[in-house]
Amino acid sequence: MPVGDNYLTSLSISGMISRTFDIYCSNISVFIGLTALYVGMNFASSFFLSSVFDQGSYRPSAISMGLNAVFTISLTFAYKIAMIKVISHAYAGLNTTWKTALMSVMENYVTVFLSGGLYYFSAFTPFMIFGLIADKSDYPSLMFWTLFSLIPVCYIFVVFSLHDLAIVVESKGVLESLSRSYNLISGFFIETFCVVASFFLVQLLTYFIFSAFPPILIILPMLVFAPTTVIIIAVIYFNLRLQKEGLSKVNLLSDLRLNEETEEDNVGQYEAIAMTDKV
């Protein structure tokens, strides 16, 4: 695990993308383990629901797809919490164990679930509103309103994208985490959007290339892009705190310790690093 001082420096757009893969490579065993568990549980649930509700049919039923979507979304929240815990510890120079990640999921899941529910509901609300406005019998009108609705959707997705980091790292509440995300990104929307858009374009290109290969191979880019998607958002979060608040390792350790009163190993690390910084 790298020392936090190596990471607490302000970055350019290209620097943030480079930092993302640096963190991924430095903690690759933990990230692949968490991602393999996440992907495996998704595949298992999909197979189970299909066998129960679809009865051998090649066309999944509405019940199967609905339940699978609910399970996937619920599991994604847990996966992101565990990932954020690992990433924040990498920034602070702390070690992370599976126990630490699991405890973070248990402590923060309800808050992240409620905050995430509001986040996704607000993001997709413009689609629903413009869907009511658009004349579905007029294809050009339908396309216009669909494309027009992407503007508020993209804006909402970006400005509230740091809500789960505010919860896991800073122990913010449901509404407070959304407000915290908005305040951090305020004034840096264009830069944040460019980083996220560039990263997702790379993903789309990679998945497009792998679509030419047997479907089972799609798991290879998933093992890279599932964790790095979380990492890039976390890198943006820490970079904004560095630029706007002058985040230091002592500040970050103080934030993280709020969630680590029962984690003896990391409390010991916190005390040792804090003492070193004072010296």
pLDDT digits (tens, 9 = 90+) for 43-95: 888 878 777 776 666 676 777 777 888 888 889 999 999 999 999 998 888 87
Give the pLDDT score at 240.
Answer: 94
pLDDT band at residue 142 under the 50/70/90 scheme: low
By the 8 A CB rule, do 202 and 195 touch?
no
Give the pLDDT score at 76.
Answer: 92
Give the pLDDT score at 254.
Answer: 85
Residue 278 inside a domain? The answer is no
Residue 253 inside a domain? The answer is yes
By the 8 A CB rule, do 91 and 8 touch?
yes
The least confident of 112-126, 133-147, 171-185, 199-213 is: 133-147
Alpha carbons 227 and 209: distance in angstroms, whole number: 20
Cα radius of gyration (the chain): 20
Distances in Å between the Cα of 256 and the Cα atoms of 59, 80, 100, 174, 225 are 47, 16, 12, 18, 26
Calculate mean pLDDT across residues 234-263.
80
Give the pLDDT score at 159.
Answer: 94
The more confident residue out of 85 and 136 is 85
pLDDT band at residue 136 under the 50/70/90 scheme: low
Of 133, 154, 170, whose CA–CA distance to 245 is shortest? 170
Calculate mean pLDDT across residues 197-225.
83
Say yes or no to pLDDT of 164 above 90. Answer: yes
Residue 170 inside a domain? The answer is yes
Q: Give the total number of structural domains in the chain.
A: 1
Residue 279 inside a domain? The answer is no
Residue 219 inside a domain? The answer is yes
Give the pLDDT score at 24.
Answer: 92
- The distance of Cα 186 from the centroid of its chain, to the nearest Å, equals 19
Alpha carbons 68 and 3: distance in angstroms, whole number: 40
Residue 224, classified by CB atoms within 10 Å of its CB into exposed (0-12), middle (13-18) or buried (19+), is: middle
The position carrying tokens 């093992």 is 223
Residue 54 inside a domain? The answer is yes
Give the pLDDT score at 114.
Answer: 95
Domain that holds residue 232: 4-273
pLDDT band at residue 178 under the 50/70/90 scheme: very high
Helix and strand totals (H; E) in the chain: 11, 0
Give the pLDDT score at 249.
Answer: 83
Residue 159, classified by CB atoms within 10 Å of its CB into exposed (0-12), middle (13-18) or buried (19+), is: buried
Give the pLDDT score at 275.
Answer: 46
Calculate mean pLDDT across residues 225-230.
91
pLDDT band at residue 264 under the 50/70/90 scheme: very low
Q: Which two tokens stand for residue 78?
A: 């847990």
Q: Which residues contact 245 (CB under 8 A, 6 or more apart)?
A: 251
Residue 45 inside a domain? The answer is yes
The more confident residue out of 262 and 147 is 147
Residue 109 inside a domain? The answer is yes
Give the pLDDT score at 99.
Answer: 82
